[in-house]
């Protein structure tokens, strides 16, 4: 039985993936890069260091990378007070807490952005601890964030389960030895998550909440 449940936040608990896609698209456009929005969407969930390398030419002027990150942050920050959690996201966190699980939020977001996400979730009573980009040397799909979450929870990989929406979540968990339950609310197809190694896939956290007692989170 798992002792801890680790949750990705963007696209899993809070409906932000498409906001990230459009604000990255705008940031790229401001710097002379036209990138199809679908291509941007598929890499959401990676840290910005890897995201830029995935969607922009290797021959680009890398001196602009910090400026593009700053542009994305400024554009996305306009939405912070309007962020909305997915239905029953807070209920799922509380179900895990009532079942005796340590609840950990694990996000590649900055500490400032993480505060906005937690405000949107409004479930502080069920959250034991959280990690952010400041806690890791390398972003997903590297396993650093998952390992940091395990350290925060004080559990071994075999005593935790992760819930995420992106292929990068599943790959990071695989490298850390933690089973990953996928949700489709981030916009990726089920086949992508299964191929990456997800142990189960649910439509969203509302479905996972409704089926909690039969899910990997409970067993």
CA distances from 188 to 3, 105, 164, 191 (A): 28, 21, 11, 8
How does pLDDT run across 148-206, given as a tens digit for each residue?
999 999 999 999 999 999 999 999 999 999 999 999 999 999 999 999 999 999 999 99
Structure tokens at 39: 């291509």
Which residue spans within 77-199 are E strands per DSSP?
102-106, 129-131, 160-164, 180-183
**CB-CB neighbours of 193 under 10 Å:** 25
Per the CB < 8 A criterion, the answer to whether 171 and 186 are in contact is no
Global pTM? 0.96
Q: Where are the domains of the chain?
A: 4-15+84-214, 17-78
Q: Which CATH architecture is the domain 17-78 placed in?
A: Orthogonal Bundle (1.10)
How sure is the predictor about 37, in pLDDT bands with cuts at 50, 70 and 90?
Answer: very high
pLDDT(58) > 90:
no
Give the CA distances from residue 193 to residues 54, 95, 151, 189, 198, in Å, rounded to whole numbers and listed in that order: 19, 24, 25, 7, 6
Cα 170 to Cα 214: distance, rounded to the nearest angstrom: 21
pLDDT value for 168: 95
List pLDDT tens digits, range 109-134.
Answer: 888 999 999 999 999 999 999 998 88
pLDDT at 71 over 80: yes
In the structure, what pLDDT confidence band is assigned to residue 2 with cuts at 50, 70 and 90? confident
Across all residues in the chain, what is the average pLDDT?
A: 95
Q: What percent of the chain has pLDDT over 70?
A: 100
C-beta atoms surrounding 145 within 10 Å: 29
Topology annotation, domain 4-15+84-214: Rossmann fold (3.40.50)
Which whole number is the average pLDDT over 51-57? 93
Quick check: 1 pLDDT over 70? no
């Amino acid at each position: 039985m798992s002792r801890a449940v680790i949750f990705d936040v963007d696209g899993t608990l809070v409906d932000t993936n498409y906001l990230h896609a459009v604000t990255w698209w705008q940031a790229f456009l401001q710097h002379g890069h036209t990138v199809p929005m679908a291509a941007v969407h598929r890499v959401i969930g990676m840290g910005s260091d890897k995201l830029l390398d995935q969607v922009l030419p290797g021959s680009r002027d890398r001196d602009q990378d910090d400026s593009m990150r700053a542009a994305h942050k400024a554009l996305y920050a306009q939405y912070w007070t309007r962020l909305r959690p997915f239905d029953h996201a807070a209920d799922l966190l509380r179900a895990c807490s009532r079942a005796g699980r340590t609840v950990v939020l694990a996000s590649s977001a900055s500490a400032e952005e993480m505060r906005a996400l937690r405000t949107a979730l409004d479930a502080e009573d069920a959250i034991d601890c959280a990690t952010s980009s400041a806690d890791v040397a390398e972003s997903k799909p590297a396993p650093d964030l998952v390992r940091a979450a395990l350290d925060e929870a004080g559990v071994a990989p075999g005593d935790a389960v992760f819930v995420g929406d992106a292929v990068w979540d599943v790959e990071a968990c695989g490298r850390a030895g933690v089973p990953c339950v996928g949700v489709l609310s981030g916009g990726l197809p089920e086949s992508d998550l299964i191929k990456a190694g997800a142990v189960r896939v649910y439509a969203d956290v509302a479905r996972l909440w409704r089926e909690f007692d039969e899910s990997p989170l409970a067993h």
